[in-house]
Amino acid sequence: MPERPAAVLSVVAIAVLAVVAATALAGWAVVSVGLAVVGGAGVGAVAVRAWRRRAASSAAAPVLPPVTTLSTDLLGREWLRTSSALGGPLAAATRQAVATRRQDTLDELERRDPAGFARWLADDSPVSRNPAEFVHGPG
Protein backbone atom coordinates (compact mmCIF):
# COMPACT_ATOMS: atom_id res chain seq x y z
CA MET A 1 0.00 0.00 0.00
CA PRO A 2 2.84 2.43 0.37
CA GLU A 3 3.04 2.63 -3.42
CA ARG A 4 -0.48 3.87 -3.68
CA PRO A 5 0.12 7.21 -1.95
CA ALA A 6 3.12 7.78 -4.23
CA ALA A 7 0.95 7.07 -7.26
CA VAL A 8 -1.73 9.40 -5.95
CA LEU A 9 0.89 12.06 -5.31
CA SER A 10 2.20 11.62 -8.85
CA VAL A 11 -1.29 11.98 -10.30
CA VAL A 12 -1.97 15.02 -8.12
CA ALA A 13 1.37 16.55 -9.11
CA ILE A 14 0.65 15.94 -12.79
CA ALA A 15 -2.85 17.40 -12.39
CA VAL A 16 -1.45 20.49 -10.65
CA LEU A 17 1.17 20.92 -13.36
CA ALA A 18 -1.51 20.51 -16.03
CA VAL A 19 -3.69 23.15 -14.36
CA VAL A 20 -0.73 25.54 -14.02
CA ALA A 21 0.29 24.95 -17.63
CA ALA A 22 -3.29 25.39 -18.87
CA THR A 23 -3.66 28.57 -16.84
CA ALA A 24 -0.39 29.93 -18.17
CA LEU A 25 -1.35 29.06 -21.74
CA ALA A 26 -4.81 30.54 -21.29
CA GLY A 27 -3.28 33.68 -19.82
CA TRP A 28 -0.90 34.02 -22.76
CA ALA A 29 -3.76 33.38 -25.13
CA VAL A 30 -5.84 36.11 -23.50
CA VAL A 31 -2.89 38.49 -23.55
CA SER A 32 -2.12 37.60 -27.17
CA VAL A 33 -5.72 38.04 -28.27
CA GLY A 34 -5.94 41.29 -26.32
CA LEU A 35 -2.79 42.61 -27.96
CA ALA A 36 -4.04 41.54 -31.36
CA VAL A 37 -7.37 43.27 -30.82
CA VAL A 38 -5.81 46.45 -29.44
CA GLY A 39 -3.05 46.42 -32.03
CA GLY A 40 -5.53 45.67 -34.79
CA ALA A 41 -7.75 48.50 -33.64
CA GLY A 42 -4.77 50.84 -33.63
CA VAL A 43 -3.69 49.74 -37.09
CA GLY A 44 -7.28 50.01 -38.27
CA ALA A 45 -7.61 53.53 -36.89
CA VAL A 46 -4.37 54.58 -38.59
CA ALA A 47 -5.56 53.04 -41.86
CA VAL A 48 -8.91 54.83 -41.65
CA ARG A 49 -7.21 58.19 -40.97
CA ALA A 50 -4.86 57.65 -43.91
CA TRP A 51 -7.79 56.73 -46.16
CA ARG A 52 -9.71 59.83 -45.11
CA ARG A 53 -6.69 62.05 -45.84
CA ARG A 54 -6.27 60.49 -49.28
CA ALA A 55 -9.99 60.81 -50.01
CA ALA A 56 -10.02 64.44 -48.90
CA SER A 57 -6.92 65.34 -50.88
CA SER A 58 -8.03 63.49 -54.01
CA ALA A 59 -11.56 64.89 -53.92
CA ALA A 60 -12.20 67.13 -56.87
CA ALA A 61 -11.88 70.78 -56.03
CA PRO A 62 -15.12 72.68 -56.42
CA VAL A 63 -15.47 74.29 -59.80
CA LEU A 64 -15.92 78.00 -59.21
CA PRO A 65 -17.25 80.35 -61.85
CA PRO A 66 -14.71 82.74 -63.34
CA VAL A 67 -14.56 85.98 -61.36
CA THR A 68 -15.35 87.93 -64.54
CA THR A 69 -18.86 86.42 -64.47
CA LEU A 70 -19.58 87.46 -60.86
CA SER A 71 -21.48 90.58 -59.92
CA THR A 72 -19.58 93.19 -57.93
CA ASP A 73 -21.58 92.18 -54.86
CA LEU A 74 -20.56 88.53 -55.34
CA LEU A 75 -16.94 89.59 -55.84
CA GLY A 76 -17.11 91.32 -52.46
CA ARG A 77 -18.55 88.18 -50.89
CA GLU A 78 -15.83 86.11 -52.57
CA TRP A 79 -13.20 88.35 -50.97
CA LEU A 80 -14.76 87.83 -47.53
CA ARG A 81 -15.18 84.06 -48.09
CA THR A 82 -11.55 83.61 -49.07
CA SER A 83 -10.43 85.76 -46.12
CA SER A 84 -12.28 83.40 -43.81
CA ALA A 85 -10.89 80.32 -45.57
CA LEU A 86 -7.31 81.51 -45.17
CA GLY A 87 -7.89 82.00 -41.44
CA GLY A 88 -8.14 78.25 -40.89
CA PRO A 89 -5.88 75.26 -41.45
CA LEU A 90 -5.49 74.36 -45.13
CA ALA A 91 -3.35 72.00 -47.13
CA ALA A 92 -0.63 73.80 -49.08
CA ALA A 93 -2.30 73.20 -52.45
CA THR A 94 -5.66 74.43 -51.15
CA ARG A 95 -4.06 77.52 -49.60
CA GLN A 96 -2.42 78.30 -52.96
CA ALA A 97 -5.72 77.86 -54.82
CA VAL A 98 -7.49 80.22 -52.39
CA ALA A 99 -4.69 82.79 -52.72
CA THR A 100 -4.93 82.61 -56.52
CA ARG A 101 -8.70 83.07 -56.35
CA ARG A 102 -8.20 86.13 -54.14
CA GLN A 103 -5.73 87.62 -56.60
CA ASP A 104 -8.18 87.06 -59.46
CA THR A 105 -10.92 88.69 -57.37
CA LEU A 106 -8.74 91.72 -56.63
CA ASP A 107 -7.75 92.08 -60.27
CA GLU A 108 -11.39 92.02 -61.37
CA LEU A 109 -12.46 94.53 -58.72
CA GLU A 110 -9.70 96.91 -59.79
CA ARG A 111 -10.55 96.45 -63.48
CA ARG A 112 -14.20 97.36 -62.84
CA ASP A 113 -13.59 100.51 -60.81
CA PRO A 114 -9.96 101.60 -60.28
CA ALA A 115 -10.95 104.67 -58.23
CA GLY A 116 -13.33 102.68 -55.99
CA PHE A 117 -10.69 99.99 -55.59
CA ALA A 118 -8.16 102.64 -54.48
CA ARG A 119 -10.72 104.00 -51.96
CA TRP A 120 -11.17 100.51 -50.55
CA LEU A 121 -7.41 100.01 -50.20
CA ALA A 122 -7.11 103.41 -48.49
CA ASP A 123 -9.71 102.36 -45.89
CA ASP A 124 -8.47 101.64 -42.36
CA SER A 125 -9.04 97.89 -42.62
CA PRO A 126 -9.58 96.80 -46.21
CA VAL A 127 -8.97 93.11 -45.51
CA SER A 128 -12.01 92.83 -43.25
CA ARG A 129 -14.28 95.14 -45.27
CA ASN A 130 -16.39 94.15 -48.23
CA PRO A 131 -14.80 95.84 -51.25
CA ALA A 132 -18.21 95.99 -52.95
CA GLU A 133 -19.00 98.89 -50.58
CA PHE A 134 -16.40 100.95 -52.48
CA VAL A 135 -16.21 99.42 -55.94
CA HIS A 136 -19.00 100.14 -58.39
CA GLY A 137 -19.51 98.19 -61.51
CA PRO A 138 -21.77 95.57 -63.05
CA GLY A 139 -24.09 93.99 -60.52
Q: How confident is the model at residue 62 (pLDDT cuts 50, 70, 90)?
A: confident
Burial-class residue 105 by CB neighbours within 10 Å (0-12, 13-18, 19+). Answer: buried
- The pLDDT score that the predictor gives to residue 127 is 83
> Residue 37 pLDDT > 70, yes or no?
no
Domain residues of the chain, as ranges?
A: 1-59, 67-133
* H helical segments located in the chain: 3-58, 72-86, 92-112, 114-122
Query: Which tens digits make up the pLDDT trace of 65-121?
Result: 999 999 999 999 999 999 999 999 999 999 999 999 999 999 999 999 999 999 999
> Residue 14 pLDDT > 60, yes or no?
yes
- The pLDDT score that the predictor gives to residue 137 is 77
> Residue 35 pLDDT > 50, yes or no?
no
A 10 A CB-CB count for 7 gives: 9
More confident position, 19 or 105: 105
pTM: predicted TM-score of the whole model, two decimal places: 0.56
Average pLDDT for the chain: 76
